Amino acid sequence: MKQTIDLFFRGLEWLLVLLLAGMTIMIFGNVVLRYGFQSGIDISEEMSRFFFVWLIFLGSIAAMRRNLHMGFDLLVVSVGPRIRRILLAIANALILACCLLILVGTVTQWKVNATNVAPVTGLTMSWLFGVALPMSLCIGFMAACRMIAYITGRMTDLPAVGGEIHE
């Protein structure tokens, strides 16, 4: 199971690299065309925006695994281990609740976004806003696992920043 999860995140990180590279190439190419030849590729502006949104949402999944999201732990580090576990379980429950709200909102808006199309590419806006679906599912799953691990005592302290979390 660990190998499957590691493979998933390795693939996700490669996808992030490809999105960033594609965005960089499209924007750089458009700048060269615009200033050097007074022309440009319209589709590259729209696709670079799509890539940017996907980069942010998918990057948040990778950041959650490594505990790289910004946090305020002044209270958590100043209490005892038992209270710390309770506070961390509550924090992960709140993350899970936010992910559920995002998931419900994404599914609710899916039909609306399916009928709206991007002006240049003609892609449905579900491709742009639909990235919230895998983000909310993945981050919600990680938060639920962490919450259960804190409640059951399998995780007792703050996860290391930048380190992968293994229960």
d(CA 124, CA 132): 15
Q: Report whether 159 contacts 126 (CB < 8 A).
A: no
CA 155 from chain centre, in angstroms, equals: 23
Q: Tell me, what's the pLDDT at 164?
A: 54
pLDDT tens, the chain, 167 aa long: 889 988 999 999 999 999 999 999 999 999 999 898 988 888 998 899 999 999 999 999 999 988 877 777 777 778 888 888 898 899 999 999 999 999 999 999 888 888 888 888 888 888 888 899 999 999 999 999 999 999 998 877 666 655 555 44
Q: Tell me, what's the pLDDT at 138?
A: 95
Q: Tell me, what's the pLDDT at 160?
A: 61
d(CA 106, CA 98): 12
Q: Tell me, what's the pLDDT at 159?
A: 64
The terminus-to-terminus CA distance of the chain in angstroms comes to 12
Q: Tell me, what's the pLDDT at 102?
A: 95
Q: Tell me, what's the pLDDT at 82?
A: 87
- Which candidate, 67, 78, 95, 69, places its Cα nearest to that of 159? 67
With tokens 């996907």, the residue in question is 54
* Domain map (residue ranges) of the chain: 2-152
Q: Report whether 76 contacts 154 (CB < 8 A).
A: no
